[in-house]
Amino acid sequence: MAAFATRSAAFLGLAVVLCFLAGAASAQQLSPNFYSRSCPNLASIVRSGMTAALQTERRMGASILRLFFHDCFVNGCDGSILLDDTSTFTGEKNAGPNANSARGFEVIDAIKTRVEAACRATVSCADILALAARDGVNLLGGPTWSVPLGRKDSRTASQSAANANLPGPGSSLATLIAMFGNKNLSPRDMTALSGAHTIGRSQCQFFRNRIYNERNINASFAALRQRTCPRSGGDGNLAPFDVQTADGFDNAYYQNLVGQRGLLHSDQELFNGGSQDALVRQYSSSPSQFSADFVTAMLKMGGLLPSSGTQTEVRLNCRRPN
Ligand code: HEM
């Protein structure tokens, strides 16, 4: 009986070890400790790279957060958005939502160079982007969280998937709910993630129609934005999303929505008499509720992975496959 128990325990132990090994080998198993042995200084390298970038330009925290969103929504968080187009390769950088808009690639390159110097051919570009997005949020005053790691980089990208999966600034609430739903993100996740628009800038071309033609907009806010976004021309002129604290990661975005000071049509859709009104009101008065839900939703979004069978690797240069 004792021998049987010992053999069973040994078998169980072996099974646990095998499961663990299988898990560690699989790209689907992310863990905050993934690089704790192979690249122990990873987190501090990324943090100092983001600190330096934000010292040059505060907006960069926003730009990197957006890159992460645009990476994850297109066939999972696999660094696909970082791949450059070449004469024989069409990536995602020139898809509609990214062209002349997605930015911050050189910040990821600079961090990657330092990570490669410390831990060669070990850390994926997708993981660097996930950590950098987290640090950007935190350095601008937002929450921090522990980032599950172990993503791999794609060898391909999809311009058509980028065009199809990323929502545009004219989207209705129903479209936003559906597009996030396609990524297994709930309406609550969608509303919390949209709070990312508490930082960063938008070009005039994306909010012109709203400030000249829409009715659910605060009149003095519309007038303010019209000063730098003319009826014609000035397409690329920038305005902050958040009229209160442009570069502070806080819940002011939701206060703006309640006051009809959303910048994009799609922003104001979250508070326009529909299903998300109550949640927007909650976030507008509870920074801690917003922070908690934002982190939960970022973890869900960061868990989107390429479908199994996709060829992946740890890229040496984030701009091209090995
Ligand atoms: C809900 C649907 C969304 C729409 C329709 C949308 C649309 C846009 C647009 C049109 C811009 C301005 C781009 C430009 O002017 O070049 C922008 C910027 C930005 N978006 Fe979104 N976005 C959405 C959701 C998100 C999410 C989920 C995140 C991150 C979690 C995010 C993060 C950002 C940030 C931080 C910026 C500012 C980037 C910068 O200043 O460089 N957005 N978005």
Domain end, chosen from 166, 200, 226, is at: 166
- Do 157 and 198 lie in one domain? The reply is no
Mutate to test the pocket of ligand 1, among 202, 235, 237 (most ligand atoms within 8 A of CB): 202
Q: What is d(CA 134, CA 251) in angstroms, rounded to the nearest whole number?
A: 17
Mutate to test the pocket of ligand 1, among 66, 172, 211 (most ligand atoms within 8 A of CB): 66
How confident is the model at residue 28, as a pLDDT? Answer: 59
- Cα(115) to centroid(ligand 1), Å: 27
Does the annotation mark 70 as catalytic? yes
Task: Please check whether residue 290 lies inside any domain of the structure.
Answer: yes
- Do 233 and 264 lie in one domain? The reply is yes
Task: Please check whether residue 230 lies inside any domain of the structure.
Answer: yes
Task: Please check whether residue 292 lies inside any domain of the structure.
Answer: yes
- Cα(67) to centroid(ligand 1), Å: 9
- Do 206 and 117 lie in one domain? The reply is no
- Do 157 and 183 lie in one domain? The reply is no
Task: Please check whether residue 3 lies inside any domain of the structure.
Answer: no
Q: b/e map of 69-99 (b: 16 or more CB within 10 Å)?
A: bbbbbbbbbbbbbbbeeeeeebbbbebebbe
Query: Could you tell me how far CA 271 lies from the centroid of its own chain?
Result: 22
- Cα(122) to centroid(ligand 1), Å: 30
State the CATH number of the domain containing residue 156: 1.10.520.10
* Residues 301/185, Cβ–Cβ less than 8 Å: yes
- Do 135 and 188 lie in one domain? The reply is no
- Do 81 and 153 lie in one domain? The reply is yes
Q: Which two tokens stand for residue 14?
A: 């072996």
Domain end, chosen from 125, 148, 166, is at: 166
- Do 203 and 127 lie in one domain? The reply is no
Predicted confidence pLDDT, tens digits, the chain (322 residues): 334 334 444 433 433 333 333 333 344 589 999 999 999 999 999 999 999 999 999 999 999 999 999 999 999 999 999 999 999 999 999 999 999 999 999 999 999 999 999 999 999 999 999 999 999 999 999 999 999 999 999 999 999 999 999 999 999 999 999 999 999 999 999 999 999 999 999 999 999 999 999 999 999 999 999 999 999 999 999 999 999 999 999 999 999 999 999 999 999 999 999 999 999 999 999 999 999 999 999 999 999 999 998 999 999 999 999 9
* Residues 131/12, Cβ–Cβ less than 8 Å: no
- Do 48 and 161 lie in one domain? The reply is yes
Mutate to test the pocket of ligand 1, among 54, 172, 197 (most ligand atoms within 8 A of CB): 197
- Do 185 and 90 lie in one domain? The reply is no
Which protein residue's CA is at the shortest distance from atom 23 of ligand 1?
Answer: 194
- Do 130 and 53 lie in one domain? The reply is yes
State the CATH number of the domain containing residue 200: 1.10.420.10
- Cα(280) to centroid(ligand 1), Å: 18
- Do 125 and 184 lie in one domain? The reply is no
Give the helix/strand (H/E) hosting 238: strand 238-240
Task: Please check whether residue 243 lies inside any domain of the structure.
Answer: yes
DSSP notation for 122-138: TS-HHHHHHHHHHHHHH
- Do 202 and 293 lie in one domain? The reply is yes
Burial class (CB in 10 A: 0-12, 13-18, 19+), 194: buried
How confident is the model at residue 139, as a pLDDT? Answer: 98
**What domain range is 204 assigned to?**
173-300
Which residue in the list 70, 93, 112, 210 is annotated as catalytic? 70
Which protein residue's CA is at the shortest distance from atom 3 of ligand 1?
Answer: 167
- Cα(197) to centroid(ligand 1), Å: 6
For ligand 1, residues with CB inside 6 Å are 59, 62-63, 65-66, 69, 101, 103, 167-169, 171, 176, 193-194, 196-197, 199-203, 206, 264, 266
Q: In the chain, how many domains are there?
A: 2
Write out the binding residues for heme b: 197
Task: Please check whether residue 288 lies inside any domain of the structure.
Answer: yes
Atom of ligand 1 nearest to the CA of 238: 15
Domain end, chosen from 128, 151, 166, is at: 166
Task: Please check whether residue 161 lies inside any domain of the structure.
Answer: yes
Task: Please check whether residue 16 lies inside any domain of the structure.
Answer: no
Which protein residue's CA is at the shortest distance from atom 41 of ligand 1?
Answer: 63
